[in-house]
Amino acid sequence: MNTTLRSSLRTLSVSVRTLLLCTLVLGLGYTLLVTGIGQLLMPARADGSPLRDGDGQIVGSTLIGQSFLDKDGEPLAEYFQSRPSAAGDGYDGRSSSGTNHGPENPELIAAISERRTEIAAFNGVPEEDVPADALTASASGLDPHISPAYAALQTARVAEARDLPLDRVEDLVAEYSQGRDLGYLGEPTVNVASLNLALDELED
């Protein structure tokens, strides 16, 4: 066996062993380590932040919004409504996206105008009181949050539909409101899926 062939075989052997070692250490070992740390320190987040009902059944995720519509696609008065979603048929994790329409797009302008009229009528408020997040989809189409202003706009309607005291519903909204991250990043929000589940549990 000549020197060149021996050198090539040695290089190939080193390459294969390095590949196997890196696959075991980085592909398997690192993955198991990070998964183990996640399950140990924050198991709920590591499992996708599941949203569970009073019986412990998973009914969604606190990270993904849901639609609260009847079989005809009409909003249910007894539930807080989420912001619009452009992800598939709505909040479809397999089709996460925004509309990608610019602010002067005629379709977007028409959709915003139509939503403003419908939301104002549904909640019995003037059109100018409807906040921006009620009219536009998030970039992902999966955002489970709405603004406190949009939640406040819906509180009276939900309380009436469920025959609950207004202050009881307002207290729930406050309970499921989140402030700015680290006290200054982003805007205050309300998690709609968690809030609606709490409303259902309240009446059980």
**How would residue 73 be classed by pLDDT, with cut points 50, 70 and 90?**
confident
Kindly state whether residues 10 and 111 are assigned to the same domain: no
DSSP annotation of 59: E
pLDDT for 117-152, tens place per residue?
Answer: 999 999 999 999 999 999 988 878 888 999 999 999
Same-domain status, 33 and 54: no
Please report the DSSP string for 170-195 in residue order: HHHHHHTEE--BTTTBS--EEEHHHH
Kindly state whether residues 89 and 16 are assigned to the same domain: no
Question: Are residues 163 and 145 both part of a single domain?
Answer: yes
Of the CA atoms within 13 Å of residue 107, those in its CB half-sphere come to: 5
- Flag the least confident range among 13-17, 95-99, 122-126, 146-150: 95-99
Question: What does pLDDT average to over the chain?
Answer: 86
User: In terms of domains, do 102 and 158 share one?
Assistant: yes
Same-domain status, 9 and 78: no
**Segment 149-166, tens digit of pLDDT:** 999 999 999 999 999 999
Please tell me the total number of residues recorded for the chain in this structure: 204
The residue segments making up the domain with residue 10 are 3-44
User: Is the domain of 84 the same as that of 146?
Assistant: yes
Asked if residue 169 and residue 97 are part of one domain, the reply reads: yes
Asked if residue 116 lies in contact with residue 130, where contact means CB atoms within 8 angstroms, the answer is yes
pLDDT score of 184: 82
CA dist., res. 146 & res. 79, Å (int): 13
Specify whether 113 is located in the same domain as 163: yes
| Domain co-membership, 107 together with 197 | yes
The pLDDT assigned to 75 comes to 93
Distance CA 44, CA 49 (A): 5
Structure-block tokens of residue 9: 């075989």
- Between 47 and 96, name the one with better pLDDT: 96
CB 62 within 8 A of CB 49: yes
pLDDT at 183 over 90: no
The answer to whether residue 187 scores a pLDDT higher than 90 is no
Number of domains in the chain: 2
Same domain? 57 vs 93:
yes
Same domain, 139 and 83: yes
pLDDT at 204: 53
- 136 close to 83: Cβ distance less than 8 angstroms: yes
pLDDT in tens, 20-57: 999 999 888 888 888 888 777 766 566 667 777 777 78
Residue 104 in this model has a pLDDT that exceeds 90:
no
